[in-house]
Structure 1
Amino acid sequence: MDSLDVDPTRKLHVVAMPYPGRGHINPMMNLCKLIASRRAYIVITFIVTEEWRGFLSSDSKPANIRFRTIPNVIPSELVRAKDFPGFQKATVTEMEAPVEQLLDQLEPPKPSVIIYDIYLGWVVGLGSRRNIPVASLWTMSAVVFSMFHHYDILVQNGHVPANLSERGKEIIDYIPGVASTLIADLPTFLKLHDKGLDQVLYRAMDAISRVPNAQYLLFTSFYELERQVIDTLKPKFSLPIYSIGPAIPYFEFGDNRSPITGHSEPDYMKWLDVQPRGSVLYISQGSFLSVSSAQLDEIVAGIHDSGVRYLWVARGEISRFKEGGGDRGLVVPWCDQLKVLCHSSVGGFWSHCGWNSTKEAIFGGVPVLTFPIFWDQIPNSKRITEDWKIGWRVKREEADETVMTREEMVDLCRGLWSWKVMRGKK
């Protein structure tokens, strides 16, 4: 048991139940760190699988956050990137029983609230059975939530499902609180569930349909960024809705956005320290899906031919990137992304447009080259390039199977720097 110097009679107990994926665990943990650091009398039990407990073992956290684990109920062969439908099904069908058993084993006091990832919709029923309030945490944008919540309107208007090669350019301008968008820029499964992935959409919609039975709805966003859609959603729900902020680790920075650290800087930060201001392109495609091998070869060659300096976070075989990328960059298996994006030498971000990465790019004030692959990354790319005008699209059509060439990559990289210069003169 964790040792906490707090009167047990004054403790409030929060249980956090994240979806087992990096893009979901990170914002949940950041929220918990903020809560725990501000109120020492709040004890937080953070429930993860044994696998994820190992991944998180080196992360620093306040003393009043404690990990508790459930078995790896999701079969190891169901790797998310290889069998996402199978992985998603396992989170819905296999996690509830061990979590409920764990709740019986937790030390007192009884949980005051369970904060859960919306995609684990079964937590709503669990909380109801135990008379514990639940707070639904949405780890994507409020705009994407509205798109899912108004799915029936899209169906009624005949806009989903749709053949993108024929109808992707049709405009949708009736989703409450959402700016006009193309069918092609909707989240993946809202429009493409005719590709044999119907169950993925069904499970997501089922989870979202349970939100009205929760006691709170939390958006990992800041109100000023999504004011219109949040204001539109509030009257539609009887439960209170809160935009809790970006849920990125900005609290680890000082007032001047310099990292607060008691440790020596890693090699990649030392490398950034000696690069010219605004000269480095930071490249990361996230921790989940990857582009095709042929496309990756063209990206590597394009980055090399562009002559741009780069810091590349590469999953898998790092030598492939080192051999093809030239000597003007650094390739690493992992980095502290927010600290990198806030470094003065970083001038651009090649991103898959996950919601966490999108918010970190905004916080760092770094323009984005968008290369979305899946799910909410598609509408995030649209908002970055068209609504907020803080970046350029690399990948333009989700349905387009054409491999972008190295020459196109060169033009984009060089064009980003020219665009930055022109914006700086305005």
Structure 2
Amino acid sequence: MTGQRKILIVAYPGQGNINPSFRFASRLMKMGVDVTFCTSLSGVRRIDKETIPQGLTFAPFSDGHDSGIQPSTPLEQYVSDFATCGARAVAEAISSAATAGQPFNHLVYTTAIPWAARVAHAHGVKSSLLWCQSATILDIYYYYFNEYEGFISSNKNNPTFPINLPGLPPLTTADLPSFILPSSPKEHDFIISMLKDHIDMLKKAPRILVNTYNELEVESIKAIEKLEYLPIGPLIPSEFLDGKDSSDSSRGKDFFVKSEDDYIQWLNTKPKSSVVYVSFGTIASFSMDQMEEMAMGLLESRWPFLWVIRDSEQAGRLSKIEEVRKHGMIVGWCSQMAVLSHQAIGCFVMHCGWNSTVETLVAGVPAVVFPQWSDQATNAKMVEDVWRTGVRVRRRESDGGGGREGD
């Protein structure tokens, strides 16, 4: 065996996990580390092959959902199948490498797959969690499963109740992750068990690689003595960190299939800080009524806008679609860091997922945030009240939607 270190990265196939773990893999490889990347076939098939770091080895496996999760498939079933098939695949990858005399030195696993740490432990391989959300969020989950569950649960129906956790900013119940609140759908109940499994696995392997940086979450990083946070962020394409002009090359840095729309050329025609960029990630979906509200709000702002709408049929049903296309541009997807780094962008309207939050902070673009679920309400709290880099859309009491008029 050579002296080169070998790392196995196991990633949940969602874009919010694959993008940061790919970027982490790229950095390891630049340091001379041999990296193998393990995820489902559906995740690998969605990756733009031109963006794969040279020398990266793949170990894909079938989880029975090779075309990705379908609308008729319950999320719990999808996650369970991924765990069952993934555990077998990871065990086989570790055993095969050891048999070949080239064992893995370490396993890195992302958010949503704590079982990977258990497989590593069973095979005598050290592991670290690559947490693809904020350190603050992991702290909240740690506290919830260690002494604070009763306190939080007894006040979960009061959205304004103050939640003060050691080392964290002052929160209210409404600022907590959605999975521990009564508004969370019943079909997401299994996620609580998965999160508890994450926390329990940290007792065996407390090292956490987190997509953040000291200046952003200095108190949260050191809030819990039993956890060893290693901030390795921001995990964004390196060209956006070294200050180079990446308006051309960056289009190949989105690991998933790229939009063919020439949005960069369109942005080049707009004045500095004049364009509103609107994108709500890969999971959030909205009713036509809410889409109409967004369209009217954008039109009434009188600013040009670049709006990402994944469902082209839904976009085509907008009542003022011609007027929308006259004043703005709709795309199915885009390279987000290329957009946020463009001088024409003046504001980002987003869901406040962690990757988007980090990217807009790095780009220095103020945000209007409309959180939907998971960690997004907590991130929105940080954006508005702690970092003061944006404002949050106030929900209507009638239907929980966001009105075009704002505050």
What is the TM-score of this pair, normalised by structure 2? 0.88
* Match of residue 180 from structure 2: 190
Identical-pair percentage:
27
CA–CA distance in structure 2, aligned partners of residues 309 and 260 of structure 1: 20
Q: One-letter code of the match for 1:383?
A: M
Q: CA deviation at 1:257?
A: 4.3
Cα deviations across residues 290-326 of structure 1 (Å, max 9, x unaligned)? 1222211211122123221111111112434644624
Residue 12 to residue 205, structure 1, CA distance change in 2 (3 Å)? same
- Counterpart of 1:418? none
CA–CA separation in structure 2 for the residues paired with 1:12 and 1:77: 32
Is 1:253 aligned to residue 240 of structure 2? yes
CA distance in 2: counterparts of 1:262 and 1:200, whole angstroms: 38
Distance in 2 of aligned mates of 1:46 and 1:270: 34
In 1: Cα distance, 2:153 partner to 2:57 partner: 46
**Helix, strand or coil: the match of 1:177?**
coil
Once the two structures are TM-superposed, the CA of residue 262 in structure 1 deviates from its matched residue by 5.2
Call closer, same or farther: CA 1:383–1:263 in 2, change over 3 Å.
closer
Partner of 1:3: none
State how far apart, in whole Å, the 1-side matches of 2:289 and 2:247 are: 40
Measure the CA separation in 2 of the matches of 1:395 and 1:21.
28
Structure 1: stretches of 5+ with no match in the other structure: 1-7, 413-426
CA shift at 1:98, angstroms?
Answer: 2.5
Confirm whether residue 277 of structure 1 aligns to residue 276 of structure 2: no
| Cα distance in 1 for residues equivalent to 2:116 and 2:63 | 18
Q: SS of 2:34's equivalent? A: strand
Q: Are 1:208 and 2:199 matched, yes or no?
A: yes
1:177 to 160, 167, 171: 167
Decide which of 43, 55, 66 is 1:52's aligned counterpart: 43
Which whole-Å CA distance do the structure 2 matches of 1:190 and 1:245 have between them?
Answer: 27
1:99–1:218 distance in 2 versus 1, CA, 3 Å: same
Q: Quick one: structure 1 residues 119 and 339, their matched pair in 2 at CA, closer, same or farther if it must change by over 3 Å? A: same
Query: How do residues 287-298 of structure 1 correspond to structure 2 at under 5 angstroms?
Result: 287-298=282-293
Give 2:255's aligned residue: none
Alignment correspondent of 2:256: none
CA separation in 1, counterparts of 2:361 and 2:269? 24
Distance 1:272 1:81, change over 3 A: farther
- Go from structure 1 to structure 2 and tell me whether the alpha carbon gap of 1:96 and 1:73 turns closer, same or farther (over 3 Å shift): farther
Distance in 2 between residues matched to 1:186 and 1:159, nearest whole Å: 11
CA offset at residue 205 of structure 1? 1.4
Measure, in 2, the Cα distance between the counterparts of 1:70 and 1:11.
25
1:421 — aligned with what?
none
Equivalent position to 1:17, from 4, 10, 18:
10
Task: Tell me the CA shift for residue 117 of structure 1.
Answer: 1.2
Contact 1:300 1:324 in 2 (8 A): no
Q: 1:364 to 1:160 in 2, by over 3 A?
A: farther
Match of 2:87 among 76, 96, 118: 96
The letter for the 2-side match of 1:270 is Q
What does residue 338 of structure 2 align with?
A: 339
Say yes or no: does 1:327 pair with 2:326.
Answer: yes
Task: For 1:208 and 1:259, locate their aligned partners in 2 and report how far apart those are by CA, in whole Å.
Answer: 39
Contact between 1:79 and 1:87, CA under 8 Å: does it hold in 2? no
* Displacement after TM superposition at 1:108 (Å): 5.1
Task: Work out the CA distance in 1 between the residues paired with 2:264 and 2:284.
Answer: 26
Structure 1 position 267 matched with structure 2 position 262: yes
In structure 2, do the counterparts of structure 1 residues 159 and 262 end up closer, same or farther at CA, with 3 Å as the change threshold? closer
- Could you say which residue in structure 2 is the equivalent of 1:129? 122
Partner Cα separation in structure 1 for residue 18 and residue 48 of structure 2 = 13
Q: Contact 1:161–1:194 (CA<8 Å) still a contact in 2? A: no
The amino acid of 1:314's aligned partner reads I
Residue 379 (structure 2) aligns with: 380
Count matched residues. Answer: 391
Q: 1:223 & 1:288 partners in 2: Cα distance?
A: 29
Q: Give per-residue Cα distances to partners, 1:120-141, cap 9 Å, x unaligned.
A: 1111221122111111111100
Aligned counterparts of 1:74 and 1:181: Cα–Cα separation in 2? 39
1:71 and 1:82, CA in 2 relative to 1: closer, same or farther beyond 3 A?
closer
- TM normalised by structure 1 equals 0.85
Decide which of 75, 94, 102 is 1:84's aligned counterpart. 75
Partner SS, residue 245 of structure 1: coil
Of 20-29 and 186-195, more deviation after overlay is shown by 186-195
AA in 2 matched with 1:186 = L
Task: Please give the alpha-carbon distance, in whole angstroms, between the structure 1 residues aligned to 2:372 and 2:199.
Answer: 22
Counterpart contact for 1:298–1:405, Cα < 8 Å: yes
How far is the alpha carbon of 1:9 from its aligned partner?
Answer: 1.7
Contact between 1:279 and 1:347, CA under 8 Å: does it hold in 2?
Answer: yes
**Runs (5+) with no aligned partner, structure 2:** 253-260
Question: What's the offset of the Cα at 1:385?
Answer: 0.9
Which letter maps to 2:376?
Q
